[in-house]
Amino acid sequence: MSKKESKNRIIIVESPKKAKEIQKFLSNEYTVKATIGHFKDLPEKEMGVDLNTFEPKFTIKSKNHKKILSEIKKLAKDGEVFIATDPDREGYAIGYFVYKELKKNAKSIKRVEFYEITKKHIKERLKDAIDFERSNFGLFNAFLGRRVGDRIVGYILSPKASKEIGGRFSVGRVQSPAVRLIVEREEEIKNFKPQPYYVVSVNLKKGNEIIEAFYEKQRLESKTFAEEIIKNIKDEKFAKVIDIKKKEVKQSPKPPFTTSVLQQTASSQLKFSPEKTMILAQDLFENGLITYHRTDSVRMSEEAISGIRELIKNLFGKEYLSPNVRIYKSKNTQADAHEGIRITNFIPWEKQEVLLKEKGLSEEHKKLLYLIYQRSVASQMADAVYLRTTVLFDIKNYKFKTTGSIIKFLGYKKIYNIEDKDKQVIIPNIKLGEKLEKVKENLAEKFTKPPSRYTEGSLVKKLEELGIGRPSTYATILKTIKERGYVKKEGNTLLPTEEAYHLIDYLNRKYNWVIDYNFTKEMEEFLDKVEENKKDWKEFVRELYKRSTSGEISKVSQKMKNYALDLAKKYGKNIDDILEDYEKLSDFIEKHRDKKPSEKQIQYAKALSEKTGLELPEEVLQDKDKIKRWINKAKKEAMKSYKLSEKQKSILIKYGQEKLLEDTPKALEWLDNFFKKRRKRK
């Protein structure tokens, strides 16, 4: 194929890394170009949705995206285009926008989905490419429903919440229920009252070994009854063996990872946030080391099963291979169109490490790949086999029990044993009717424990259980609620902030539907139906718009009420009858508020006066409102001569904000927000 011909066959993906990897496999047969993520989106500073028709106004995100699109258009002229963006709603939406831009000047446009970035897979998938017109437009409609619906909820309810609570608050269709979960869990912990319970056990001697046996009902609520058992058995010297049960217990391996289970496991085992896990998994996918990482499926292809079974035989021998091929199926049959997350190279770990090194990936990539490698291989291995022994003793007609467990055959645990909580407890050789010496009796008072705070992993699990969000959104939900200051991390656990309480209290009173778990789940299920072309995305948006625009905005914010109540307390006044009356409440605040500026304001104003040469009258120094107005005026004056530092300039350039270099006030505003977000993350 000549170079000229090759330029007329173009593959479009989102990521430059993925484009580079695919280009290596295809040589000069195709030109592979990346859009660099979403190149079109709703505008940043306006609703961008016609509220009569719900039609969105998508715009090209940046000058760089405009330039990339122009290059793609030139390449695609009279050519064959293969749109190979990710096989989910977001990926399809990017592909759909490309299709709309190119359909007039390309000879043909086809849709192809890559589930792994390997030479064989890519070549096979390209052969199966279909005309874009025959692909599932339901994916784009589901994307529209989510994007437009979320924009409407955010743009209508966030200003309402900010005004009525007092401050800056954001409301999200999916993020707000997640905040509610964390607030409710914290309330459960605060309101929890520990209840005592009692555990009775005995220490029995067999040769040189001590066995601990527990009263048959391990948790006793009555202290009197527990003390009675101890009193009645105290003088008894022996415990008689009245029953021995031996049972072989088999444990089967778990299926390959889904997105949420990978996020949960990486959170508990590696302490990675869901966001970090997804970034690392994206890199592993794009470098051809794992299958596509956004999936609800646990299925594995026949080729993968065959490759992994061969690897198990070579690594551990036939006895470690499951006798029958393990077929994993997802609860959601639609999910099985995809595969679970698995390795793509069926080679030992040492060779996987070589590939990681060749591709220049980090130690953290290595840790995540090892987790996926272990789980992939274990999924086709033999069961682990335990021998469980339960011995029942009689002491003065009270029954005590001990259980021991030893592993007879490791099976899949030879490679994947990270979550194993079973400890081996060996019970010595005991015979039926044998008497063992009782050396001690124990009575322990214990207390019930409150529920644990959510970790990022356990919150993802809860969101999945409730049907809130989807594989591609869990990481974004957690990132958003942290960045917006509703949740902070303490160690590995998530704590709600004061803002979270204010928000959930407000939504509970005014817009309960936003944080209703069932409603949120129903909305997600509706979008699934849109994806299947069974529902109209505008119906989804219309419902959200109707709910968001219901209810009047109160002129009296919660912040205003709280301030007035503090003043009322200070001056011994009762203002219950005017709390909802904006005019009267404003008059009360004006009459009783402290009009003197703070010492900090005075010092700041004096410093600005020296810097700018502006006169600072005495009357300004005596009035809080006047000093505020004066400071704002002086700051504008000071800004005229302010020069950005080299460090400030380099941060703006690094994060693609070069356009602000010529607008100092806006640059400083952006930098201020940037550092606030950074502090919140810490």
Can you tell me the distance from the alpha carbon of 665 to that of 667, in angstroms, rounded to the nearest whole number? Answer: 5
Q: Is 425 exposed, middle or buried (0-12, 13-18, 19+ CB in 10 A)?
A: middle
Which residues does the annotation mark as catalytic? 292
Closest CA to 605 of 638, 637, 636, 627: 627
What's the pLDDT score for residue 554? 65
Task: Map tokens 């119906």 to a residue.
Answer: 539
The model's pLDDT over 377-411, given as tens digits with 9 standing for 90+, comes to 999 999 999 999 999 999 999 999 999 989 999 99
Question: What confidence tens digit (pLDDT) does each residue in 303-333 have?
Answer: 999 999 999 999 999 999 999 999 998 776 5
Answer whether 502's CB lies under 8 Å from 562's CB.
no
- DSSP letter at 647 equals H
pLDDT of residue 173: 94
User: Any long-range contacts for 464-470 (C-beta under 8 Å, 24+ apart)?
Assistant: 464/260, 466/177, 466/517, 466/520, 466/521, 467/520, 467/521, 467/524, 467/525, 468/174, 468/177, 468/178, 468/517, 468/520, 468/521, 468/524, 469/174, 469/178, 469/524, 470/296, 470/524
Q: Are strands 238-251 and 384-395 parallel, antiparallel or unpaired?
A: antiparallel
Return the pLDDT at 1. Answer: 41
3-state secondary structure 101-151: HHCCCCCEEEECCCCCCCHHHHHHHHHCCEEHHHCCCHHHHHHHHHHHHHH
Beta bridge partners of 404: 389
How far apart are alpha carbons 181 and 56 in whole angstroms? 31
Determine phi and psi for 408, rounding to 5 degrees: -90, -35
Q: Give the per-residue pLDDT at 556.
A: 67
Asked whether the beta carbons of 451 and 417 are under 8 A apart, the reply is: no
Interatomic CA distance for residues 283 and 288, integer angstroms: 9
Statement: residue 335 has pLDDT above 70: no
Cα distance between residue 480 and residue 158, in whole Å:
14
The yes-or-no verdict on residue 7 having pLDDT over 60 is: no
The predicted structure's pLDDT at residue 419: 65
Q: Return the higher-pLDDT residue of 606 and 412.
A: 412
pLDDT of residue 334: 52
Domain 144-191+452-548 class in CATH: mainly alpha
* DSSP of 19-78: HHHHHHHHTTS-EEEE--S-SEE--SSS--B-TTT--B--EE--HHHHHHHHHHHHHHTT
Residue that is written with structure tokens 């936003």 in the block: 514
d(CA 574, CA 421): 59
Rg of the chain (C-alpha set): 32
- DSSP symbol at 320: G
Phi and psi angles of residue 623, each rounded to the nearest 5 degrees, phi first: -130, 125
Look at strands 209-215 and 435-447 and give their pairing: unpaired
- Alpha-carbon span 675 to 652, nearest angstrom: 12
Identify the band that residue 211 occupies on the pLDDT scale cut at 50, 70 and 90: very high
CATH number assigned to the domain with residue range 259-378, chosen from the 4 options 3.40.50.150, 1.20.1600.10, 1.10.290.10, 2.40.280.10: 1.10.290.10
β-bridge pairing 130-131 and 108-111: antiparallel
Q: What is the pLDDT of residue 157?
A: 95
Give yes or no for a contact between 95 and 85, defined as CB atoms under 8 angstroms apart: yes
Segment 269-291 mean pLDDT: 95
DSSP state letter for 411: G
Residue 423 is predicted with a pLDDT of 64
Q: In the CATH scheme, what is the homologous superfamily, with its name and number, of domain 196-252+384-447?
A: Topoisomerase I, domain 3 (2.70.20.10)
- Please, which pLDDT band fits residue 667 given cuts at 50, 70 and 90? confident
Which residues, in sequence order, are bridge partners of residue 257? 341
pLDDT at 681: 52
DSSP per-residue codes, 312-338: HHHHH-GGGB-SS------SSGGGGGS
Structure tokens that stand for 140 in this block: 């784009």
Are 456 and 414 in contact by the 8 Å Cβ rule? The answer is: no
Mean pLDDT over 255-278 rounds to 95
Q: Cβ contacts of residue 415 below 8 Å, gap of 6+? A: 316, 374, 377, 378, 381
- How far is 318 from 381, CA to CA, in rounded Å? 10
Q: For residue range 477-520, what is the model confidence (pLDDT) as tens digits? A: 999 999 999 999 998 999 999 999 999 999 998 999 999 999 99
Going by pLDDT thresholds of 50, 70 and 90, the confidence category of residue 4 is: very low
Kind of pairing, strands 9-13 and 31-34? Answer: parallel
Q: Compare 190 and 630 and report the one with higher pLDDT.
A: 190
Burial track 281-293 (b if 16+ CB lie within 10 A, e otherwise)? bbbbbbbbbbbbb
Helices (H), 162-258: 175-191, 223-233
**Range in 31-45, 122-136, 423-437, 593-607 the model is least confident about:** 593-607
From the list 5, 224, 258, 9, the residue with the least C-alpha distance to 109 is: 9
Answer yes or no: are the C-beta atoms of 543 and 145 closer than 8 Å.
no
* Whether the predicted pLDDT of 6 surpasses 60: no
pLDDT computed for residue 528 by the predictor: 94
Average pLDDT over residues 521-536: 95
d(CA 37, CA 65): 9
Tokens at residue 649, please? 């300039």
CB 433 within 8 A of CB 393: no
Whole-number pLDDT of residue 5:
45
Question: How much of the chain exceeds pLDDT 90, in percent?
Answer: 72
- pLDDT(139) > 50: yes
User: Angle at the Cα of 347 (from 342 to 353), degrees rounded to 5?
Assistant: 85
pLDDT mean across residues, the chain: 90
C-alpha–C-alpha distance, residues 271 and 283, integer Å: 18
Under the banding of pLDDT at 50, 70 and 90, the label for residue 422 is low
Largest Cα–Cα separation, the chain: 102
d(CA 456, CA 275): 10
474 closest CA partner among 149, 174, 89: 174
Task: Name the residue with higher pLDDT: 620 or 92.
Answer: 92
* Architecture of the domain delimited by 3-135: 3-Layer(aba) Sandwich (3.40)
Measured CA to CA, the distance from residue 91 to residue 338 in angstroms comes to: 14
Residue 3's pLDDT is what?
Answer: 42
Please check the confidence at residue 592 and state whether its pLDDT lies above 80.
no
Please tell me the predicted confidence (pLDDT) of residue 178.
97
